[in-house]
Amino acid sequence: MLKIYHFQLLKTFFGLGSKDRPGIFRQVFDLTFHGQGGFSWSEVYNMPVWMRKYCIQQANEHYSEQQKKHDEAMSRAQRSSTTKNPRPPQFFSKK
């Protein structure tokens, strides 16, 4: 005689569902793409979650600092170009 067991739980695995996959794949893509070759896809996918989040945070801080330095250099360059030559040169004389 075959016994049928009824469980209260619908799922037998307490893992991530299909709705969580886009977030995971986004993290994997971000680290592999913006990591500039530092990580392979399989390394990031198999990485512990805490380490993946840490690496993403470090990359964000690095790129934010780079952007800040770039913006400062551009504003300095713009200020120096306007102070050296406030008026554009006139190539044609007005008659």
How far apart CA 71 and CA 64 sit, in angstroms, is 11
Contact residues for 45 (Cβ-Cβ < 8 A; gap 6+)? 24, 28
Global pTM value: 0.62
Neighbours of 31 (CB within 10 A): 21
pLDDT tens digits along 34-46: 888 888 999 999 9
pLDDT tens digits along 28-83: 999 998 888 888 999 999 999 999 999 999 999 999 999 999 999 999 888 877 66
How distant is the alpha carbon of residue 46 from its chain centre? 19
